[in-house]
């Protein structure tokens, strides 16, 4: 009976890799996993059969990890949980053993690996399944891979391990893309996006399916080029303008200015349970659902973790608060919001603005931006109030406006301050800010003012802050400090080391081809 | 006539037959028999187990007295080894057998308790005091990190898989302790290698009691016991708690108004004495002298000291041992059936009881609690619903959560041993085994339970079916080669085993009407095969030089065709020095044997599923789909298909063992014992390591990377201190020293690699307290070194800056102590005086450390009040009065505490009534106390914690028991 040893899986939910694509419908399911990788943490939901190990599955969620690293070290957010080395993200004192940074790194490369696997399996395959051709799917997978590579570049720099579909699966040691400050990864991402951009589906403002379209690729290119200098390369603002303009002029998107009779403002409807039908502003989002696509990360985390103290969880459509994330006076102080402003969603009841003890939720004002309520005021679909329906917005039109304004302030040929005035006024009008408090000409011409204040007013807590502050040159160093920066109550200067995260020591241990980023 | 034994006492039950017929009978209680003989019938065969059979020529006598002689050969101790048995004096490996008469007694539902502390090198740690709780069994330390460290357990020749059965905490519970005849522990590789790929962590062979020819015998054993709570955790009492809140939040009425008016000892509310009882009846004998049998039934009713925990167990067993074809064919049929009904209590109630506000009461008559069936709970002042992150009312957790399971299990085998008619030296043995279990359990929580309010209650059924089929075939040839003063014993065999299991799980709200359910119905199926060829050669020269060579070639379906076959050889040599001229006549030395052993064993139970080498894709449950939208905004959900990471080259862990041992006996075996020195090296250690990012479809992968070693010494001594006709006193003592060290852990030599973080703790998310790292024992604690003030109190947040860089971070953590004891000892004493007997058994562990997670997670002031949801209060560990910590200091070595201990496991006093009904009835009455006392410096509840992290452990009860054994 030696032949008995040749077994294949008998589990109804497991398919042998050798013949998985004998069934063409598995192409769409495998593609859905690539999108789902940003939302769900495993195959069970909200936890169970996790994709990655070494960390609590709920806390391993891609956007939760990404958001924390983009927000907690900045002037907008602080978190007081005693979870291992989590406070060190808020204090900007992390090391190469930080498990939360490792988990994000793992998530990013996990995502890249499954994209590679899918691209490998669809290269040269051209059939149509459920109305979508496998070639179209292949290009979407390439977009998602470029998107995650951009996360890797922005957070960890050019020295990260680089693999494509040409590499197999198994015991090999990937080579780094290059050295820190080099251009290899940047060039790869930009060339990939430019190569596929034309073949992605056209934008469908207000009717987004959740799949990556042309405008998503333009937005990513806009971000990539806008930040070129932060990656140690020469400025590429011209290119940034090209793709920003494509979004603005060819996308057909418009700001959400109509709250459709809701009790919430138009701005707020972007962060509600039914935000996918809020209007035509959202370019691409990671879609979450309280019943069918469940995790303890993403907007579920953003909603629960922001609730504490005297906040009434039922007004947020969830069953309770996790008492974690608050803002700091650098966000909530008069500095940021000039007057009545719909975007000012600060909660102060029972909270004090000054933070003495970061572990206490009541210190630092709370933020009431994400609500698992529909425009009609009904809680999301999960009757238990655990998981929310809010889609996490990756790109929305307002960001393109702000990118344009910044490029104009940078005096990039082709970008005009007068056009920038129109865009900025539109954001202020949408927020019902009195005309007197709209941007002054000085502010409109100041890169610092636009990045430091305008982007924060519009995009705070949306997971872009770290990148913005680095581009401004005020993330590290002593020019701009906020509470608990560097671990000090009043904030201290920090070394520029922290502009990039360390390559996790676990990966340096596993792959001797890699080199640690300087300073770690 | 009358039959008497070697002392001249009459012997009942002796078979007296007319030679060549089945005519005759057995002796009565006075040893008398009567046979009527026909013409020509003049020879009687008189036989009795343990005695030499005699043929008596009757002649003309009408009264015949027979004196039986002890059969030295039959009495000679035989130990079972894998696929056979050897005379104890011929054993070459490190093997120790414990028979029923040596077992610990009383209040026992778990078979492993029978031999706890009895065997050097074997360490057992029960997982807590729950009814039917399992134990962690370690033989000579673990040889793996991530793979299983459990020994292989073989019940009547059927290797069972010890991956556990759903709804049952202890796979060994299948066997009723009363049915067990012997435990044999195979420790070194020369003994275990015959089990090849499953033998790295030792083998425990269990044989059950069998029927014997002779008179029908009925035995009854029963007992009643009371389990009591030995100790509770020291938390703030009500007044201390109120003072603490008032002092910390002076004038803050939003906090102080939360204080209630009651005085509740929550631990008292969830723990209490429990009564249990256990009954067994067995019948043994022989049907017409050709079909010896033994049948038994048992029933156990076991209440736990954590309220609502309960176990009901019914067992039945049948053993048939007929011999056919002129004794050439021996058949051995065993069937064991068990039905267990478990009522599990939520262990979380233990932790909740520590932290629940003592000024509240379990049931509060206030209106606001009516919708929670009156149980007090912390209400969110905004939503008016329970605060989701506040701890649950411990009494509600017990009384509103119904978690029960029923398990049926059958283990049976039929063994056919055939001695060839034309060649009696050659024997063939066929063993067919079947192990089947079926579990059916569910959790049910009503929507009125505050702790399940958010999910609208809970309904979570689960099912499991397991099958394990076995076929073994061996041929054995034994021959005395007198011409060269040698004896050979060659055995070769084939084994096939198939493991299959199916699991079902589901989870929804109480009414089961939420759509889609919280977890959709899910069926999981898996299987694996092991196919093996093996052989053993025993060669004996001059009766005193013994050689054993063993080899097993194992194939497992868990590895790829390239790596699935493993060859596991072993060699052993033993020199029975007592038989040499220079010792043969010694009065001092009554036994002396030197044993040398070497062998390689493997490990294929790698805790990573049955297909770790295959690329597979896994579908999502419909709660882990991805949401897309149609143009009108209508969502649709796509199942996702995930490619899983895999290691195509994964293979066996291999452990090489060297063993030197001496078995000794002095003064006519008044003193006996053994000494063993061993070294075990595990290579290709399986470890979950980070894979180079980008190279696989996961971030961590179980792969063969490390090396690990265990070195140790075992010593045991048994001393017959007093041996007179009225008074006997036997003392046993064993001690083991074991040193465990990881010698390699990564593929790439990386000085910066700290190791594998392990040992998750309560408090925060994802915090771990232990590490596997090179040069240190497995699961060493990885902590900051606490700095203390002049009075010896810990200074909050002040730790030794090991690298003096001015920062306290991971680089300042040190590896400090580990949970495994360096030295452990067992002591047993058994004294009999006339009809009385008195025994006790105890254990010491030295050098085992425990992380006191109970204190670290409840011992900081800030946790007394949490503002979320309008605020709630939590009680604190009394340790706070010493430390005064404001914030949690999870990683302080202050909480890594010495947990060395001496535990008196068991004392027993018994009385045997003799000569009842002229000897037709045996009656024994006894009383025992289990877990009598513990002496330890450990500051927590109980120092014996498997894995070394003390949190929510079900307290081990102190049990008082009276029992009776009756034999007819």
Band of pLDDT at residue B629, cut at 50, 70 and 90: very high
CB of A68 within 8 Å of a chain B CB? The answer is no
Report chain B's terminal Cα–Cα distance, integer Å. 23
Residue B530 confidence (pLDDT) above 60: yes
At A318 the pLDDT is: 94
Query: Over 60: is that where the pLDDT of B72 sits?
Result: no
Which residues of chain A lie closer than 8 angstroms to B447, CB-CB? none
Interface of A with B in 280-299 (CB under 8 A): 287-289, 291-294
CB crowding B95-131: b at 16 or more within 10 Å, else e: bbbbeeebbbbbbbbbbbbbbbbbbbbbbbbbbbbbb
CATH 2.60.40.1120 at B1-74, yes or no: yes
Q: What kind and span of H or E run contains B337? A: strand B329-344
| Residues in chain A closer than 8 A to B703 (CB atoms) | 171
Whether residue B825 has pLDDT greater than 60: yes
DSSP 3-state percent helix, strand, coil across chain A (nearest 5) = 45, 10, 50
Query: What's the DSSP call for residue B938?
Result: -
Q: What is the dihedral of CA A271, A274, A277, A283, to 10 degrees?
A: 40
Q: Give CA–CA dist A142/A189, Å, rounded.
A: 10
In this structure, what token pair is assigned to residue B81?
């080894």
DSSP state of A292: T
Q: What is the pLDDT of residues A237-254, one digit of tens each?
A: 999 999 999 999 999 999
Task: Please state whether beta strands B274-287 and B217-228 pair in parallel, antiparallel, or not at all (unpaired).
Answer: antiparallel
Q: Please tell me if residue A49 touches chain B, with a CB cutoff of 8 Å.
A: yes
Asked if residue A494 has pLDDT above 60, the reply is yes
Contact B765 A59 (CB under 8 A): yes
Q: Say if the Cβ atoms of A386 and B454 lie within 8 Å.
A: yes
Alpha-carbon distances, residue B640 vs A119, B681, B752 (angstroms) = 16, 43, 38
Q: What is the pLDDT of residue B786?
A: 95
Give residue B409's pLDDT. Answer: 93
Of B516, B529, B633, the CB nearest to A7: B529
**Quick one: pLDDT band at residue A342, thresholds 50, 70, 90?**
very high
pLDDT at B120 over 90: no
Residues of chain B with CATH 2.170.130.10: 75-208
pLDDT of the residue at B108: 62
Q: Kindly determine whether residue A276 and residue B633, on different chains, have CB atoms separated by under 8 Å.
A: yes
Q: Looking up tokens 């379990």, which residue turns up? A: B362
Tell me how close the Cα of B196 comes to any Cα of chain A, in angstroms.
Answer: 17
Q: Under the phi-then-psi rule, with left for phi > 0, alpha for psi from -120 to 50, and beta for the rest, what region is B667?
A: left
Residues 498-527 on B with a CB inside 8 Å of A are 498, 509, 514, 516, 518-519, 522-527
How many other C-beta atoms lie within 10 A of the C-beta of residue A127?
11
pLDDT, tens digit, for every residue of B575-611? 999 888 888 888 899 899 999 999 998 887 777 788 9
Partnered with residue B302 across adjacent β-strands are: B311
Test A53 with B700 for CB contact under 8 angstroms. Answer: yes
Calculate how close chain A gets to B532, using CA atoms only, in Å.
Answer: 9
Per-residue pLDDT at B867: 84
How far apart are the C-alpha atoms of B153 and B172, rounded to whole Å? 9
CB-based contact B407:A336 (threshold 8 Å): no
More confident residue, B766 or B241: B241
Q: Is A308 on the interface with B (CB under 8 A)?
A: yes
- Write the CB contacts of A343 (distance below 8 Å, at least 6 apart in sequence): A267, A337, A431, A457, A458, A460
Give the pLDDT score at A335.
Answer: 58
Q: What is the pLDDT of residue B71?
A: 66
- The SS3 call for residue B620 is coil
- Facing residues of B43 across strands? B57
On whether any CB of chain B is under 8 Å from the CB of A163, the answer is yes
CA distance B27 to B720: 34
Smallest CA–CA separation between B499 and chain A, in Å? 12
Beta-bridge partners for B381: none
A368 near B CB under 8 A: no
At residue B881, φ and ψ (nearest 5 deg) are: -70, -25
> What is the rounded CA–CA span in Å between residue B689 and residue B886?
36
Res B117 pLDDT > 80: no
- Whether residue B749 is predicted with pLDDT greater than 70 in this model: the reply is no
Share of chain A above pLDDT 70, in %: 100
8 Å CB contact between B968 and B218: yes
Q: Record the tokens describing residue B805, joined without a space.
A: 């860089």
% of chain B with per-residue pLDDT over 90: 56
| CB atoms A13 and B514 under 8 Å | no
A439 vs A509 pLDDT, higher one: A439
Which residues of chain B are within 8 Å of residue A507 when distances are taken between CB atoms? Answer: 690, 692-693
The residues pairing with B238 across neighbouring beta strands, listed in sequence order, are none
Residue B17 in tokens: 């037959």
Distance separating alpha carbons of residues B319 and B293, to the nearest angstrom: 5
pLDDT of res. A384: 86
User: pTM here?
Assistant: 0.85
Q: Is 70 exceeded by the pLDDT of residue B921?
A: yes
pLDDT for res B69: 79
pLDDT given at position B105: 66
| Distance (Å, whole) CA A103 – CA A327 | 24
The predicted complex's ipTM stands at 0.96
* Cβ contacts of A315 within 8 Å, gap of 6 or more: A371, A373, B382
Cβ-defined contact of B765 to A510 (cutoff 8 Å):
no
d(CA A110, CA B696): 8
Q: End-to-end distance of chain A based on CA atoms, in angstroms? A: 56
B829-871 residue pLDDT tens: 999 998 899 999 999 999 999 999 999 999 999 889 988 888 8
Angle at B159 (CA atoms; ends B157, B165), nearest 5 degrees: 130
pLDDT over 60 at A486, yes or no: yes
Residue B65 pLDDT: 85
What mean pLDDT comes out for the span B646-657? Answer: 90
Tell me the sheet residues that pair with B672.
B665, B718
* Mean of pLDDT values over A451-479: 96
Joined tokens for residue A215 = 């405008």
> Does A112 contact B518 at a Cβ distance shorter than 8 Å?
no
Q: What is the mean pLDDT of chain B?
A: 88
Residues of B in contact with A85 (CB under 8 A): 809-810
Structure tokens that stand for A75 in this block? 């002037």
- Distance, in Å, from the CA atom of B630 to the CA atom of A209, rounded to the nearest integer, reads 6
CA distance B62 to B650: 77
Cα A159 to chain centroid, rounded: 21
User: CA B820, B824, B825 angle in degrees (round to 5)?
Assistant: 165
In 3D, which of B140, B240, B149 has the Cα closest to residue B191? B140
In sequence order, the 6+-apart residues with CB closer than 8 A to the CB of B251 are: none
CA–CA gap between residue B774 and residue B759 (Å, rounded): 17
- CB-CB neighbors (< 8 A) of B616 in chain A: 9, 14-17
- CB atoms A82 and B689 under 8 Å: no
Find the CB nearest B697 among A12, A29, A117: A117
Q: Which residues of B fall within a CB distance of 8 Å from A16?
A: 614-617
Chain A, chain B: beta-carbon pairs less than 8 Å apart: 379
pLDDT tops 60 at residue B73: no
Give the pLDDT confidence score for residue A449 in this predicted structure: 95
Identify which of A419, A403, A448, A452 has the alpha carbon closest to the alpha carbon of residue A220.
Answer: A403
Cα of B249 to nearest chain A Cα, Å: 14
Highest mean pLDDT among A41-55, A100-114, B856-870: A100-114
Banded model confidence at residue A334, pLDDT cuts 50, 70, 90: low
Identify the residue with better confidence: B762 or A413.
A413
CA distance A62 to A58: 10
Task: Give B623's contacts in chain A (Cβ within 8 Å).
Answer: 44-46, 291-294
Q: At what angle do helices A62-71 and A465-472 cross, to 10 degrees?
A: 40
**Using one digit for the tens of pLDDT, what is the confidence trace for A386-418?**
999 999 999 999 999 999 999 999 999 999 999
Contact A109 B699 (CB under 8 A): yes
- Out of A4, A18, A83, whose CB is closest to B767? A83
Residue intervals in chain B for CATH 2.60.40.1120: 1-74
Mutate to test the interface with B, among A55, A79, A169 (most CBs of B within 10 A): A169
Tokens at residue A7, please?
């077994």
Q: What is the pLDDT of residue A109?
A: 97
CATH architecture of B75-208: Beta Complex (2.170)
- ∠ CA B264-B269-B275, nearest 5°, is 150
Q: How far apart are the C-alpha atoms of A355 and A364, rounded to whole Å?
A: 5
Tell me if chain A has a CB within 8 Å of the CB of B382: yes
pLDDT for B405 equals: 94
Q: What are phi and psi of B892, to 5 degrees?
A: -80, 140
- Chain B within 8 Å of A6 (Cβ-Cβ)? yes
Which among B845, B812, B690, B835 is positioned nearest to B755, based on CA atoms?
B690
Q: State how far the Cα of B137 lies from the Cα of A160, in Å rounded to an integer.
A: 44
Say yes or no for a CB contact (<8 Å) between B867 and A310.
yes
């Amino acid at each position: 009976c030696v032949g008995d040893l040749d077994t294949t899986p008998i589990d109804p939910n497991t398919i042998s890799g050798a013949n998985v694509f004998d069934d063409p419908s598995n192409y769409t399911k495998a593609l859905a996993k690539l999108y789902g990788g940003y939302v769900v943490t495993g195959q069970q939901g909200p936890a169970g059969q996790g994709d990655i190990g070494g960390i609590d599955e709920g806390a391993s969620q891609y956007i939760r990890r990404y958001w924390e690293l983009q927000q907690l070290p900045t002037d907008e957010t602080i978190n007081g949980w005693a979870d291992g080395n989590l406070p060190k993200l808020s204090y900007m004192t992390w090391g190469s053993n930080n498990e939360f940074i490792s988990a994000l790194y793992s998530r990013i490369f996990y995502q890249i690996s499954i994209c590679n696997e899918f691209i490998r399996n669809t290269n040269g395959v051209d059939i149509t399944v459920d109305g979508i051709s496998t070639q179209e799917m292949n290009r979407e997978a390439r977009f998602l891979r470029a998107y995650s590579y951009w996360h890797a570049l922005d957070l960890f720099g050019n020295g990260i391990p680089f693999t494509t579909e040409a590499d197999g699966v198994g015991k090999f040691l990937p080579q780094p893309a290059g050295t820190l400050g080099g251009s290899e990864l940047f060039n790869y991402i930009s060339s990939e996006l430019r190569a596929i951009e034309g073949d992605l589906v056209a934008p469908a403002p207000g009717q987004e399916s959740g799949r990556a379209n042309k405008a998503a690729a333009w937005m990513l290119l806009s971000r990539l080029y806008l930040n070129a200098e932060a990656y140690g390369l020469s400025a590429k603002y011209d290119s940034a303008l090209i793709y920003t303009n494509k979004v603005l002029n060819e996308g057909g998107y418009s700001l959400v200015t109509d709250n459709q009779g809701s009790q919430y403002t138009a701005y707020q409807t972007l962060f509600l349970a039914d935000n996918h039908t809020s209007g035509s502003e959202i370019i691409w989002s990671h879609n979450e659902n309280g019943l069918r696509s469940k995790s303890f990360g993403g907007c579920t985390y953003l909603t629960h973790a922001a609730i504490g103290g005297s906040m009434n969880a039922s007004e947020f459509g969830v069953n309770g608060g996790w008492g974690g994330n608050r803002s700091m006076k650098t966000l909530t102080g008069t500095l940021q919001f000039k007057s009545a402003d719909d975007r000012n969603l600060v909660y102060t009841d029972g909270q004090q603005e000054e933070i003495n003890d970061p572990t206490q939720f009541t210190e630092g004002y709370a933020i009431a931006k994400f609500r698992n309520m529909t425009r009609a005021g009904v809680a999301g679909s999960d009757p238990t109030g655990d998981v929310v329906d809010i889609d996490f917005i990756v790109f929305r039109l307002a960001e393109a406006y702000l990118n344009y304004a910044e490029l104009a302030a940078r005096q990039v040929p082709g970008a005009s301050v007068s056009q920038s005035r129109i865009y900025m006024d539109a954001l202020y009008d949408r927020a019902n800010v009195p005309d007197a408090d709209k941007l002054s000409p000085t502010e409109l011409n100041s890169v610092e003012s636009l990045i430091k204040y305008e982007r924060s007013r519009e995009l705070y807590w949306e997971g872009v802050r770290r990148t913005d502050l680095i581009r401004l040159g005020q993330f590290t160093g002593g020019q701009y400090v906020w509470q608990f920066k560097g671990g000090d109550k009043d904030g201290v200067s920090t070394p520029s080391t922290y502009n990039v995260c360390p390559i996790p020591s676990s990966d340096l241990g596993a792959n001797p081809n890699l080199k640690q980023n300087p300073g770690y | 006539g009358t039959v008497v034994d070697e002392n001249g006492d009459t012997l009942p039950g002796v078979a007296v037959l007319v030679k060549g017929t089945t005519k005759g009978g057995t002796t009565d209680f006075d040893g008398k028999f009567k046979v009527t003989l026909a013409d020509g019938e003049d020879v009687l065969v008189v036989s009795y187990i343990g005695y030499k059979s005699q043929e008596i020529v009757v002649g003309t006598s009408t009264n015949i007295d027979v004196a039986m002689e002890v059969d030295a050969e039959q009495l000679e101790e035989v130990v079972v080894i894998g696929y056979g048995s050897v005379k104890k004096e011929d054993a070459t490996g490190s093997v120790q057998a414990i028979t029923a008469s040596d077992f610990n007694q009383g209040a026992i539902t778990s078979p492993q308790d029978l031999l706890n502390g009895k065997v050097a090198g074997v360490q057992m740690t029960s997982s807590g005091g729950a009814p039917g709780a399992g134990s962690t069994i370690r033989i000579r330390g673990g040889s793996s990190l991530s793979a299983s460290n459990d020994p292989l357990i073989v019940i009547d020749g059927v290797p069972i898989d010890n991956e556990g059965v759903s709804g049952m905490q202890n796979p060994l519970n299948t066997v009723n302790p009363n049915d067990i005849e012997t435990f044999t522990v195979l420790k070194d590789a020369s003994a275990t290698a015959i089990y090849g790929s499953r033998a790295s962590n030792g083998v425990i062979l269990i044989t059950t009691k069998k029927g014997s020819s002779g008179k029908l015998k009925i035995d009854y054993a029963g007992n009643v016991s009371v389990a009591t709570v030995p100790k509770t955790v020291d938390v703030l009492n009500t007044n201390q708690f109120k003072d603490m809140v008032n002092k910390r939040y002076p004038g803050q009425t939003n906090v102080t108004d939360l204080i209630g008016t009651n005085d509740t000892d929550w631990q008292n509310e969830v723990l209490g004495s429990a009564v249990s009882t256990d009954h067994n009846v067995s019948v043994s004998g022989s049907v017409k002298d050709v079909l010896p049998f033994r049948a038994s039934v048992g029933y156990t009713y076991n209440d736990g000291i954590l309220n609502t925990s309960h176990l009901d167990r019914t067992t039945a067993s049948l053993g048939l041992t007929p011999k056919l074809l002129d004794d050439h064919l021996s058949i051995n049929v065993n069937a064991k059936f068990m039905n267990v009904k478990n009522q599990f209590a939520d262990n979380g109630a233990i932790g909740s009881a520590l932290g629940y506000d003592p000024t509240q009461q379990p049931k509060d008559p206030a209106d606001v609690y009516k919708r929670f069936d009156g149980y007090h709970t912390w209400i969110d002042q905004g939503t008016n619903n329970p605060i989701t992150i506040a701890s649950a009312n411990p009494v509600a957790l017990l009384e509103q959560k119904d978690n029960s399971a029923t398990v049926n299990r059958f283990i049976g085998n039929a063994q056919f041993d055939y001695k060839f008619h034309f060649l009696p030296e050659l024997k063939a043995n066929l063993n067919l085994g079947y192990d089947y279990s079926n579990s059916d359990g569910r959790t049910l929580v009503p929507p009125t339970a505050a702790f399940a309010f958010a999910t609208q209650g809970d309904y979570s059924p689960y099912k499991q079916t397991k099958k394990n089929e076995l076929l073994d075939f061996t041929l054995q040839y034994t021959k005395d080669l007198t011409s060269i003063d040698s004896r050979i014993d060659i055995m070769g065999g084939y084994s096939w085993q198939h493991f299959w299991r199916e699991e079902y799980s589901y989870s929804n709200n109480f009414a089961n009407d939420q759509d889609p359910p919280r977890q959709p119905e899910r069926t999981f199926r898996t299987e694996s095969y092991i196919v093996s060829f093996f052989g053993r050669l025993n060669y004996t020269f001059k009766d005193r030089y013994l050689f054993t060579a063993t080899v097993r070639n194992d194939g497992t379906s868990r590895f790829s065709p390239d790596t699935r076959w493993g060859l596991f050889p072993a060699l052993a040599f033993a020199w029975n020095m007592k038989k040499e001229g220079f010792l043969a006549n010694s009065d001092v030395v009554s036994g002396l044997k030197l044993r040398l052993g070497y062998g390689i064993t493997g490990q294929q139970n790698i805790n990573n599923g049955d297909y770790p080498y295959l690329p597979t894709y896994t579908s999502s449950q419909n709660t882990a789909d991805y949401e897309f939208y149609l143009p009108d905004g209508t969502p649709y959900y796509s199942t996702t298909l995930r490619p899983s990471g895999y290691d195509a080259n994964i293979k066996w862990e291999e452990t090489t063992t060297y063993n030197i041992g001496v078995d000794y006996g002095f003064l006519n075996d008044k003193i006996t014992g053994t000494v063993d020195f061993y070294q075990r090296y595990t290579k290709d250690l399986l470890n979950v390591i980070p894979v180079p990012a980008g190279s696989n479809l996961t971030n961590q992968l179980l792969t063969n990377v490390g090396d690990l070693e265990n070195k140790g010494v075992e010593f045991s001594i048994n001393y017959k201190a007093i041996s007179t006709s009225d008074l006997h006193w036997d003392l046993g003592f064993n001690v083991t020293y074991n040193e465990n060290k990881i010698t390699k852990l990564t593929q790439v030599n990386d000085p910066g690699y700290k190791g594998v973080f392990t040992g998750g703790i309560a408090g925060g998310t994802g915090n771990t307290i232990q590490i596997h790292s090179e040069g240190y024992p497995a699961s060493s604690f990885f902590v900051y070194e606490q700095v203390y003030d002049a009075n010896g109190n810990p200074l909050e947040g002040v730790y030794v800056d090991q690298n003096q860089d001015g920062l306290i971070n991971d680089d300042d953590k040190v590896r400090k102590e580990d949970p495994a004891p360096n030295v452990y000892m067992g002591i047993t004493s058994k004294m009999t005086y006339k009809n009385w007997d008195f025994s006790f058994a105890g254990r010491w562990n030295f050098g085992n450390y425990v992380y006191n997670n109970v204190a670290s997670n409840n011992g900081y002031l800030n946790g007394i009040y949490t503002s979320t949801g309008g605020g709630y209060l939590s009680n604190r560990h009394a340790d706070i009065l010493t430390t005064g910590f404001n914030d949690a200091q999870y990683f302080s070595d202050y909480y890594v505490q010495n947990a060395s201990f001496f535990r008196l496991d068991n004392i027993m006093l018994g009385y045997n009534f003799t000569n009842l009904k002229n000897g037709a009835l045996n009656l024994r009455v006894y009383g025992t106390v289990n877990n009598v006392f513990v002496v330890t410096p450990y500051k927590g509840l109980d120092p014996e914690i498997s894995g070394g992290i003390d949190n929510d452990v079900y307290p081990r009860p102190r049990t008082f028991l009276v029992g009776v054994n009756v034999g007819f």
